[in-house]
Structure 1
Amino acid sequence: MTKSHPASRPYYGHKQPEKFFNKPNIVDKPIIKTPLPPLPKPAFPEKVLLESQKIAEKARQNWEQEIRQRRDFRNVTTLTIDPPRAQDFDDAISLRQLPNNRYEVGVHIADVSYYLPEGSVVDKEARKRATSVYYVDRVVPMLPEILSNDLCSLQPQQERLAFSAVFVLTPEAEIESEWFGRTVIKSDRRFTYEEVDEIFEHGRGDYLVELKILDSLTKKLDEQKQIAGALAFVDRETEFVLDDHGQPQQIYRVELTRSHKLVEDLMLLANRRVAEFASKYNKNKMGYFVYRIHDAPDQDKLRDLALFLKPLGYDLEIKNKKVSTAALKKLLASASGQPEEAIINRATIQSMSRAIYSLDNIGHYGLAFPHYTHFTSPIRRYPDLLVHRLLALYLAGKRPTEAQLQQCAELVIHASLMERSAAEAERESKKTKIAEYFAQHVGEEIDGVIAGVTEFGIFVEDSATGGEGLVRIRDLGDDFYELKPKKFALIGRRHKKQYRLGDKVHARIKKVNPDRGWIDFELI
């Protein structure tokens, strides 16, 4: 194995691919230039754990007094839908049928801000961490376990405190009224995504009526979003089955299903409407808010994307030197279901600006929302906790202090950077586990697609697992191959055989270095 392995550099978004794509190194926001902060150690300091215990004890003592001050949803049908291994249940959904063919839909979020006094030892630790980190084999939580997996977690058949967004909707998912405030809930049933999909498929199961109503409403919400101009990227998650020693035994890819969309669209609704509600206070100069913003993409990047797509047979329409949102939507729709769909999705995403947290609202380009925030995951994201605190202030008719404003301005930058650090750590974790899995299967064959072409070889993405490996140019022994950048292909000098981006290939696992996450394939 050589000292420098090109496969250690993912194909998209790094210096080598930018050079290959002829893409300028455009920085979306000033904070992106800032070096990423290191992630915190997994273990919590002893003083944080001790204070967490005290918080839990105090909450139990004050329980009866607290719930009397809250809107009571304990007798309203309430469900959670999460991955099978989830332990920190941030969100729950309630449904109540009203007269006149109306529906009350509640999006109930763990009320972390009630338990976590601002400036407390636990709060300062959560602020420093800013996010939970989800490695393949473990979670490094933002909050101690007694809070994240117990007291705050919306567990089934347990009374829990929530911060809720409640909507009265028509059958067409038009909002007739909305309410935001603190509640007490009790989840009737904990579902996994797979269980809900099974109920939809077979037409029977617990809470079938409620789930079908929610499914119908969220489909209407999604239609509204698409009409407004939201971009529909295909999102495929990589799932791992590990043994007792943390070794990967199975890897498979999961596409977003009806159950995922149901939850996602209700969370988007809550995030959007909370941001719209809070923005009124900005207009009245009463305060500020934490927004999740996504700037429009740089047109130079989109023009480069158009050049990249040409050899794949896709035309990205450019009018007056600009690529419109409609043109991007048309591109993604035309690639849907095609072998190169994942590559086109990835390349398009790489052409987008990076979503960040900000006190200045510019809207969310990808979702086509003029106002957007993160309200729905305060157990694992500190910005959501800030949003809860600000929303509580505004609901009480108060405004934040200048000191709070200054601190918030610093925290949104810190949270954006920590989010990137966590994302990189999670990607490396997946890369390592995929390599560990492939190391157990050296010599076996895979079907894949060419996901990258460079002067030193081709990157092949395994269709089954999403794992990516390198076929070195020296292992293409039937000819002398040269890189043709304008065609995004390696072409044989004598026989003119081509290996192009998006081509399907059959390969064998040749060599793996799990420690470095390197995988070598050979074509067969």
Structure 2
Amino acid sequence: MSFVFECFESNVPILNLGISYLSEAQMRIDDTSMNDEITRSLRGLNRLAKILKKKRIEMGALTLSSPEVRFHIDSETHDPIDLQTKELKETNSMVEEFMLLANISVAKKIYEEFAECALLRKHPAPPPSNYDMLVKAAKSKDLDIRTDSAKALADSLDAAQVEGFPYFNTLLRILATRCMMQAVYFCSGMDTDFHHYGLASPIYTHFTSPIRRYSDIIVHRLLAVSIGADITYPDLMDKHKQAALCNNLNYRHKMSQYAQRSSVAFHTQLFFKSKGIINEEGFILFVKKNAIVVLIPKFGLEGTVFFENKDKPNPRLSFKEEIPTLTVEDTVFHVFDKVKVTISLDASNVQHQKIRMSLVEPVIPGVSVSPQSNCNSEPDAKKPKLES
């Protein structure tokens, strides 16, 4: 551990996790003409990070996927001028591995010193029923996903490939992410199950981000006491107060997630407000009784295309649940099918603006819209919507 901390201390900007720092670090690693001391150190750290990641995966740690978007904001108007999914570099993974190592090491230390009042973080294993949609989706491609353990799931996901469909594995991992339980903070003296399912670690905590998480501040205080760098105080040693604090942290974390999603939805609406109608290709993530949920990889955007409309006759619909399929007239939709949709902003109600998606391809007479048409004026358009 001392080696890891010393390496990071000698290259402090890397810890900031800013895009510019990570990009510069990646540039140094990739540029074969650069062989200065810092660049060689970065390459050494990167090699070590890959060894750490390989070891975690061998233990059963999951590598999942979730589309994250990044907005480019106009410096004067503060409106979003571009929207794209975040590109992860090797240096992202490098920093992540050392952060995970630090978190796990600190969790062990504070639990050794304070078995009754350590603030830890666990990730419960999902109940088997949570995996139903994932297993059924994989079966649609004649693939078997094992879910009896994290290791079995990780190996199944690694092996799940479809020839000629490179994005398939990413889609499958996105679905797997939706099956997971929420990770939570807890007090060690009030629980017996410490296991972190996703990381395949018997113990874990949050230590590396005290400037943005209060949980990390408490962990820093516990660590400082355990190494003789500070003195304790009564509330820190009270497991009941620690448990109450953890409950509040979990509640606040959930609220922050809602706020983040609302912020993304708001800026997405601002972005499409200036774009008019956009035609994009996407993939079906879910099939429902009267709709399909479409992921647009370019924007990391999900939307629901509904096939029922109370204002006009509905098409013939037939839904099969075992291997999820939806038949609209004579067209069958499966999970992972590629489709083309129009995306636009419905601003007819200024207080409840919505992103609307309409099907373009495959072409279904009376259901699909023309790619050149306006979703709000096309006579055959269904006006499906994604609630903000």
TM beyond 0.5: yes
Structure 1 residue 208 and structure 2 residue 39: aligned?
Answer: yes
Q: Is the 8 A contact 1:281 1:288 kept in 2?
A: no
Counterpart for residue 42 of structure 1: none
8 A contact 2:285–2:294 mirrored in 1: yes
- Report the Cα offset of residue 204 of structure 1: 4.4
Superposed CA deviations along residues 201-258 of structure 1, whole A, max 9, x for unmatched, are: 2234572111101101111111111111111113543111011322211111124220
Q: 1:523 aligns with which of 342, 360, 376?
A: 360
Q: Aligned partners of 1:477 and 1:505: how far apart in 2?
A: 23
Within the candidate set 332, 338, 344, 1:504 is matched to: 338
User: 1:434 deviation in Å?
Assistant: 1.6
**SS at structure 2 position matched to 1:414:** helix
**Aligned to 1:315, which of 144, 149, 161?**
144
Contact 2:61 2:198 in 1 (8 A): yes
| Amino acid in structure 2 at the alignment position of 1:216 | R
| Structure 1 residues 418 and 478, CA gap change in structure 2 (3 angstroms) | closer
Q: Give the structure 2 partner of residue 273 of structure 1.
A: 105
Instruction: Name 2:369's counterpart in structure 1.
Output: none
- Relative distance call for 1:389 and 1:75 in structure 2 (3 A) is closer
1:354 pairs with one of 179, 182, 201:
182
2:325 to 485, 489, 496: 489
For normalisation by structure 1, the TM-score amounts to 0.59
Q: 1:371 to 1:204 in 2, by over 3 A?
A: farther
Structure 1 stretch displaced more, 222-231 or 294-303: 294-303
- Say if 2:24 is the partner of 1:77: no
Paired residues of 1:218 and 1:266 also in contact (CA < 8 A): yes
Shift of 1:359: 1.0
| In 2, Cα distance between equivalents of 1:238 and 1:463 | 10
Q: Secondary structure of 2:121's match?
A: strand
Aligned amino acid, residue 193 of structure 1: L
Structure 1: which 5+ residue stretches go unaligned?
A: 1-71, 86-190
Residue 132 (structure 2) pairs with residue 295 (structure 1): no
Residue 401 of structure 1 aligns with which residue?
234
Q: Equivalences for 1:404-443 in 2 at 5 Å?
A: 404-405=237-238, 406-443=240-277
**Aligned AA (1:359):** C
Q: Which residue identity lines up with residue 214 of structure 1 in the other structure?
A: L
Among 50, 53, 62, the residue aligned to 1:222:
53
CA contact (8 A) 1:295 1:353 kept: yes
More strand by share: 1
What one-letter code is carried by the residue in structure 1 that aligns with 2:277? G
Counterpart secondary structure, 1:471? strand
Q: Which runs of 5+ in 2 are unaligned?
A: 362-388
1:345 to 167, 173, 198: 173
* Alpha-carbon distance between aligned partners in 2 of 1:461 and 1:352, rounded to the nearest angstrom: 19
Please state how far the C-alpha of 1:303 moved relative to its aligned partner. Answer: 4.8
Q: Which residue of 2 aligns with 1:324?
A: 149
CA-CA distance at 1:512 after TM superposition: 3.2
Post-superposition shift, 1:422?
A: 0.3
Give CA deviations for 1:277-328 in whole Å, capped at 9, x if unaligned: 1221245xxx52110111222123235542343224331236xxxx222321
Note if 1:367 corresponds to 2:199: yes
Q: CA deviation at 1:454?
A: 2.3
1:509 is paired with a residue of what secondary structure?
A: strand
Structure 2 residue aligned with 1:234 = 65
Pair 416,75 (structure 1): closer, same or farther in 2 beyond 3 Å: closer
1:383 and 1:305 mapped to 2: Cα distance? 33
SS in 2 for 1:487: coil
d(CA) in 1 for partners of 2:194 and 2:56? 18
Answering whether residue 78 of structure 2 is matched by residue 246 of structure 1, we say yes
Distance 1:78 1:400, change over 3 A: same
Displacement after TM superposition at 1:501 (Å): 1.6
**How far 1:263 sits from its partner (Å)?**
0.6
Q: Secondary structure, in 3 states, of the residue corresponding to 1:518? A: strand
CA contact (8 A) 1:236 1:256 kept: no
After superposition, give the CA deviation of every residue in 1:139-179 in whole Å (9 maximum; x if it has no partner): xxxxxxxxxxxxxxxxxxxxxxxxxxxxxxxxxxxxxxxxx
1:333, distance to aligned residue in structure 2 (A): 1.2
CA distance in 2, matches of 1:311, 1:302: 14
CA distance in 1, matches of 2:339, 2:314: 16
Q: Secondary structure at the match of 2:140?
A: helix
Paired residue secondary structure (2:64): coil
